[in-house]
């Protein structure tokens, strides 16, 4: 982001938040944040949920991410 080049920390990140603008901002931040920091943020803000895809293709959820029905 500082260079204008795409983030290379992880293949994907998603967020659920009260507004679309917040979800967009958080998902962008989650692309760059360490998983421990994402977990801490979601613990402090229960209305924010995160999901990241790791390089190996596994997915990690943070917060109260809803289970698929």
CA distances from residue 22 to 6, 16, 62 in whole angstroms, order as listed: 20, 8, 16
Q: Tell me the two tokens of residue 54.
A: 């790791």
Burial 50-65 (b: 16+ CB within 10 A, else e): bbbeeeeeeeebbbeb
What's the predicted TM-score (pTM) here?
0.83
Which of 9, 1, 2, 3 is CA-nearest to residue 55?
A: 9
Residue pLDDT, tens place only, 23-62: 999 999 999 999 999 999 999 999 999 999 998 999 999 9
């Amino acid at each position: 982001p500082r260079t204008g080049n795409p983030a290379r920390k992880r293949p994907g990140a998603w967020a659920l938040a009260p507004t679309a603008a917040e979800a967009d901002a958080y998902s962008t931040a989650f692309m760059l944040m360490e998983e421990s920091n994402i977990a801490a943020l979601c613990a402090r803000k229960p209305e924010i949920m995160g999901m990241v895809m790791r390089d190996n293709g596994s997915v990690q959820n943070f917060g109260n991410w809803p289970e698929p029905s």
